[in-house]
Structure formats: structure tokens, C-alpha cells
């Protein structure tokens, strides 16, 4: 059996590029996130913008230096919705692999949901389940229930895609919000009979930047504090309140409010709308916020593979 050294997981998402470095026991050594906007414009153009690609590659170069400083020996790097949709994804994958020194695995929606579910529920007690995990990304939203039976579905709606299609960067009109809601509701209605909800899950677990930002906003946190965000119980009333207040402002005025960094400001309304609709569809009045997610699932998979080699 080969000893497992420090490992790292990288997620090249539609809105952010993230890194998790862990030791051989799975203990977090470093967790980093940069909003890079890889998925901006992909829904319309079907291609990655050169500027977004350059931003992501620059961030990956910085992450490579962090991994080297921690003596990382095993790396898992993945891409999700933006790369699934982009015709020029192979070029990006080659360039990212050259920077990081590891291949980029393009995840399908089901695998993405499974890894997110594993990471999000690993710390939770079995009696809190069954779980419904919702991962709101930039281009897609993954829904997974379990642990037994485990069922996952991926919807082609995320905070970036929804904003670009229906909301724009200014305060959305009532008609724009209504069209956005109708789209999300139709997608959720299409899951009827495919997921054992509503009523089949005891705990709704919410992942990703939108959910974390709303947890910060609800608590008035001007600086991110993982201790106050991880496993915070976010009420649907707080989501509705944030959605109404933020939708009344142009993106420039949302930036700097609690939990809303400048690069996320244009998309926070779209993300909040998706979360509100998922909570209504599944019948939950609160969401357990998890800062453990797909990165943690990837680290678990790396360590299992290393332990079995």
C-alpha cells in the first residue's frame, strides 16, 4: 500500500475557480476561491471568452504555487457546466493541464451531483437524513437525494445562465423576474417522478457561492467567516427578503453589501431566485448551508484511490 501525501482538488466552475488542499487524513490545509467568470457568455455564444480563459489560467497558476508549497502529490481538477457547453473546451483543458500539471476531468451532471453530495453530507449525522442537496452553480444546478437510494439530476439553470437569459445587470422588472421564475419552475416540474421529493427528504442542504453569500447577507456579515456560515440555517423568509432587496438595486449598488462581492453582484439575484424556487418546490422553510462541497468530495475520492493503491 502506497502512503498518501497531501492532495488537492480544483474546480473550474462557471463563475468561480476554487482550490482545496488537504492532508492524508482529509484535514483542510488551504481553501481558496476566486470569481473568474468562465461561463459568462457561454450560454449565448457556445464558446469561452479569451478574457475569461486568461483569468482562470492566471488563477490556476497561483494555485499551482500554493500546491507546491504544501508538497501536493495528487491532484484532481474538474470542469462543470461552462465546459460541458463550450465548443472550445478541449483547448482550455489542454492549457489548464499544462499550467496545473494534471488532466482536467470534465464532469457530467450526475457525477458532479454525486461528488457534491458526498462532500456536503460527510459531516452530517445519519439521523438528519435523508438529504436533498442543491448545488447552485453558474451554469447549472445539481439536485441529489440520498443516501439510499441515491438519485441525482442536473438542471441547465444557474445564476449566470439565468441572469444572462432573463435578468440583465440592472434592477430586473417584475416581468423579467416572472419570466425567470416561470423558467425555473418549468425545469423543476420536469423532475416530477425522478426525485423522491417533496416529502422524501428531511434536510435540505445548500451549496455554492450563492447560498454562502445569502447566509452572509442574512447575518449582516461584512467579512466572510466560515465558522458563521458553515451549517448556518438559512430561512426561506431570509432568502425572499434578500431577493427583494437586491433585485431593487443595480449590480453596482449590490456590490459591497454583506456577502456580495463585486464579481458576484450581477448574478446574486438569479442565484437567490433559483434557491427560493427550489425551497418552494421541495417544501422546505430552511436550508442548511454547507461550505463542504464538490471539492471535499473530490478529496475523499483521491484519498480512497490512494489508500487502495
> Quick one: average pLDDT of 159-166?
92
Which are the contacts of 175, defined by CB distance < 8 A and separation ≥ 6?
A: none
pLDDT of residue 77: 97
Cα(161)–Cα(41) distance, integer angstroms:
8
Q: Do domains 7-109+294-307 and 124-289 have the same CATH topology?
A: yes
CATH class assigned to 7-109+294-307: alpha beta
> Quick one: average pLDDT of 205-221?
95
Q: Cβ distance 64 to 100 under 8 Å?
A: yes
CATH class assigned to 124-289: alpha beta
Cα(151)–Cα(138) distance, integer angstroms:
22
Residue 120, pLDDT > 50, answer yes
Choose between 81 and 168: higher pLDDT: 81
Domain ranges for the chain, please list them: 7-109+294-307, 124-289
Cα(229)–Cα(34) distance, integer angstroms:
18
CA 236: distance to chain centroid? 19
Which are the contacts of 164, defined by CB distance < 8 A and separation ≥ 6?
A: 40, 41, 43, 44
Angle at 185 between CA 181 and CA 187, to 5 degrees: 120
pLDDT, one tens digit per residue, over 32-84 is 999 998 988 888 888 999 999 999 999 999 999 999 999 999 999 999 888 99
pLDDT of residue 18: 95
pLDDT of residue 194: 80
Q: Please give the backbone phi and psi of residue 235, each rounded to the nearest 5 degrees, phi first.
A: -75, 145
Distances (CA, A) of 35 to 49, 56, 232: 15, 9, 23
Q: How many CB atoms lie within 10 A of CB 117?
A: 28
Q: What confidence tier does 200 reach under pLDDT thresholds 50, 70, 90?
A: confident
pLDDT, one tens digit per residue, over 244-263 is 999 999 999 999 999 999 98
> Quick one: average pLDDT of 72-98?
93
Cα(229)–Cα(207) distance, integer angstroms:
11
Q: Cβ distance 134 to 284 under 8 Å?
A: no
**Per-residue cell: 297:** 468530495
Residue 282, pLDDT > 80, answer yes
Amino acid at each position: 500500500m502506497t502512503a498518501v501525501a497531501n492532495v488537492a482538488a480544483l474546480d473550474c466552475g462557471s463563475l468561480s475557480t476554487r482550490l482545496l488542499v488537504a492532508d492524508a487524513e482529509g484535514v483542510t490545509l488551504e481553501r481558496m476561491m476566486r470569481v473568474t467568470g468562465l461561463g459568462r457568455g457561454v450560454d449565448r455564444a457556445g464558446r469561452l471568452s479569451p478574457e475569461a480563459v486568461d483569468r482562470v489560467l492566471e488563477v490556476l497558476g497561483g494555485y499551482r504555487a500554493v500546491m507546491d508549497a504544501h508538497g501536493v502529490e495528487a491532484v484532481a481538477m474538474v470542469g462543470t457546466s461552462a465546459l460541458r457547453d463550450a465548443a472550445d473546451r478541449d483547448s482550455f483543458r489542454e492549457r489548464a493541464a499544462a499550467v496545473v500539471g494534471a488532466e482536467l476531468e470534465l464532469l457530467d451532471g450526475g457525477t458532479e451531483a454525486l461528488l457534491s453530495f458526498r462532500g456536503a453530507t460527510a459531516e452530517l449525522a445519519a439521523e438528519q437524513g435523508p438529504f436533498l442537496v442543491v448545488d447552485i452553480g453558474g451554469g447549472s444546478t445539481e439536485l441529489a437525494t440520498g443516501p439510499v437510494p441515491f438519485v441525482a439530476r442536473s438542471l441547465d439553470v444557474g445564476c449566470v445562465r439565468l441572469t444572462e437569459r432573463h435578468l440583465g445587470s440592472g434592477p430586473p422588472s417584475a416581468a423579467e423576474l416572472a419570466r425567470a421564475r416561470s423558467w425555473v419552475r418549468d425545469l423543476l416540474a420536469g423532475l416530477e417522478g425522478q426525485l423522491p421529493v417533496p416529502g422524501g427528504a428531511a434536510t435540505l442542504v445548500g451549496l455554492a457561492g450563492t447560498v454562502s453569500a445569502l447566509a452572509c447577507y442574512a447575518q449582516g456579515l461584512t467579512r466572510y467567516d466560515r465558522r458563521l456560515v458553515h451549517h448556518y440555517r438559512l430561512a426561506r423568509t431570509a432568502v425572499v427578503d434578500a431577493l427583494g432587496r437586491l433585485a431593487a438595486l443595480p449590480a453596482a449598488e449590490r456590490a459591497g453589501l454583506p456577502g456580495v462581492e463585486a464579481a458576484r453582484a450581477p448574478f446574486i439575484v438569479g442565484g437567490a431566485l433559483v434557491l427560493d424556487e427550489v425551497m418552494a418546490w421541495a417544501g422546505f422553510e430552511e436550508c442548511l448551508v454547507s461550505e463542504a462541497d464538490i471539492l471535499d468530495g473530490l478529496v475523499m475520492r483521491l484519498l480512497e484511490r490512494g489508500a487502495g493503491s
